[in-house]
Amino acid sequence: MLDVRQLACLRGDRLLFRRLDLHCAPGSLTRVAGANGMGKTSLLRLVAGLARAESGDILWRGEPIASCRDAYHAALLYLGHAPALNELLTPLENLRFACALGGDAVDDTACTAALARIGLARQIGLPCKLLSQGQRRRVGLARLYLGHTRPLWVLDEPFTALDAAAVTALAAHIDTHVAAGGAVLFTTHQDVPFQQALRTLDVEAFAP
Amino acid sequence: MSSFVAVLRRDLLVAWRGRGDLLVALAFFVIVASLFPFGVGAEPNQLRAIGPGVVWVAALLASLLALPRLFAQDHESGVLEQMLLSPEPAVSWVLAKIAAHWLATGLPLVLVAPLLGLMYDLETGAIGVLCVALLLGTPLLSLLGAIGAALTLGLRGAGSLLALLVLPLCVPVLVFGAGAVDAWLGGIGLRAHLLLLGGGSMAALALAPWACVAALRVAVE
């Protein structure tokens, strides 16, 4: 469903990668690998449509993402580096806002259930500034438990700051999404135990 | 439309939770306006003459104080990226952010202005005119300021750059805002002044959100 063709990315004066091809079919699990600063995050941001490519095409169901932006963004769940929270709001308020912003019709009960599943049942009413790094990460990731209507997940370092049990649980959840016909594109520096077949795309192979 | 409501509710909630910051801007407004009598002397006629202008300058400076926060917090936390990924038109949530910003920082200035009017011994009618002018003019300050905030987002020294960028643009607002009271006192009618302020706000309402969206997309890239 997602096709990346001959993509090149320029950051400042430096060409990060060029002639990068990537195809995400339904039911595919793709890990973007590469050392720090080689363009993993830049690639994910290009795919999400947050940055513009130097050259090349990104096609969603055969159409350039720039010309079907709204439909594409309704089908995409992108979680970036930062957990996208406001410090003064509670996890529940943050999650509810993120869903409303994305246009997902999700009620409070579903949000509470998602936060409970990710292990934040007791922190639901605390302002996020009181949460630890890992807990903040989880608030952002809770959207994955409400995101089954979105086929494409693009996740930048989703496993960072999580404990071992949470990593296993998240991997299992990603497996379920892939098994149900979703596509996941993510980065990580950890070894994560997936059941589904994992493809690795090394951005360094496309460095000039 | 749902993104407009969601962003408006959330930004007002955030403003309420961080209301200390808003009180600082409000106190700044009162203090700046209170400084002038110390500088120019406490001669009542002179104070009556400069009162409206002083209140307007203080309002302009106070509204500038809160501007850098308009997009910066959401930019750092990554919320801005999520907003840009919303399937709804970006103009709708940008407008909601500006509206919430005005409700949290502009409207309180309008509500406190009568007190300052009393301090400068303005007559009741003049205070009324001052408040109406502020009510029509402060949205324009927020809208122009939002363009500046979006253009300077993520830059080094964004705060001072923002002031340099926005203050000259606000001169017409100042001229017609403070001029409205003088016109009323001079008996020449204030229709023209208020129409210009209101018209300016309407034009900015129609154009500023688009400029903000374009600037925000560049800032996030």
Residue ranges and CATH numbers for the domains of chain A are: 2-206 (3.40.50.300)
Q: For residue B76, what is the nearest residue in chain A, using CA coordinates?
A: A82
Whether B221 shows a pLDDT value over 90: the answer reads no
For residue A52, the model assigns a pLDDT of 87
Summarize the confidence of residues B52-74 as an average pLDDT. Answer: 92
For residue A138, the model assigns a pLDDT of 92
Whether A148 shows a pLDDT value over 90: the answer reads no
Domain that holds residue B18: 2-220
What residues have CB less than 8 Å from A33, skipping those under 6 apart?
A: A40, A187, A200, A201, A202, A203, A204
Confidence band (pLDDT; 50, 70, 90) for B159? confident
Summarize the confidence of residues A64-73 as an average pLDDT. Answer: 90
Percent of chain A with pLDDT over 70: 100
Whether B157 shows a pLDDT value over 90: the answer reads no
Summarize the confidence of residues B49-71 as an average pLDDT. Answer: 92
Instruction: Tell me how long chain A is.
Output: 208
Which residues of chain B neighbour A98 with C-beta distances below 8 Å? 82
For residue B197, the model assigns a pLDDT of 93
The Cα-based distances of A93 to A85, A132, A161, B99, B167 in angstroms read 10, 17, 22, 20, 36
Q: pLDDT tens digits for A129-143?
A: 999 988 999 999 999
> Are A103 and B3 inside 8 Å of each other by CB?
yes
Whether A176 shows a pLDDT value over 90: the answer reads yes
B220 close to B77: Cβ distance less than 8 angstroms: no
Sheet strands side by side (includes A29-33)? A76-79, A152-155, A183-187, A29-33, A198-202
> Are A50 and B88 inside 8 Å of each other by CB?
no
Which residues of chain B neighbour A89 with C-beta distances below 8 Å? 10, 13-14, 17
Query: Using CA atoms, how far apart are residues A147 and A75, in angstroms rounded to an integer?
Result: 9
Q: Give the residue numbers in A contacting B (CB under 8 Å), as ranges.
A: 48-52, 70-71, 73-74, 76, 78, 80-89, 93, 97-98, 100-103, 127
Confidence band (pLDDT; 50, 70, 90) for A88? very high
Tell me which residue has tokens 């020294």. B157
For residue A53, the model assigns a pLDDT of 87
Instruction: Please count the structural domains in chain B.
Output: 1
Tell how far CA B136 is from the center of its chain.
Answer: 10
Summarize the confidence of residues B105-132 as an average pLDDT. Answer: 93
Whether A78 shows a pLDDT value over 80: the answer reads yes
Tell how far CA A45 is from the center of its chain.
Answer: 10
> Are A76 and B6 inside 8 Å of each other by CB?
no
Q: pLDDT tens digits for B162-180?
A: 999 999 999 999 999 999 9
Question: Closest Cα of chain A to B16: distance in Å?
Answer: 10
Confidence band (pLDDT; 50, 70, 90) for A102? confident
Q: pLDDT tens digits for B68-107?
A: 889 999 999 999 999 999 988 999 999 999 999 999 999 9
Summarize the confidence of residues A6-31 as an average pLDDT. Answer: 90
Name which of B5, B77, B217 to mutate to probe chain A: the one with the most chain A Cβ atoms within 10 A of its Cβ: B77
> Are A97 and B220 inside 8 Å of each other by CB?
no
Size of interface A-B (CB pairs under 8 A): 78
For residue B139, the model assigns a pLDDT of 95
Q: Global pTM? A: 0.92
Q: For residue A143, what is the nearest residue in chain B, using CA coordinates?
A: B82
Whether B155 shows a pLDDT value over 90: the answer reads no
Name which of B85, B88, B92 to mutate to probe chain A: the one with the most chain A Cβ atoms within 10 A of its Cβ: B85
Q: What is the ipTM of this complex?
A: 0.91
Whether A11 shows a pLDDT value over 90: the answer reads no
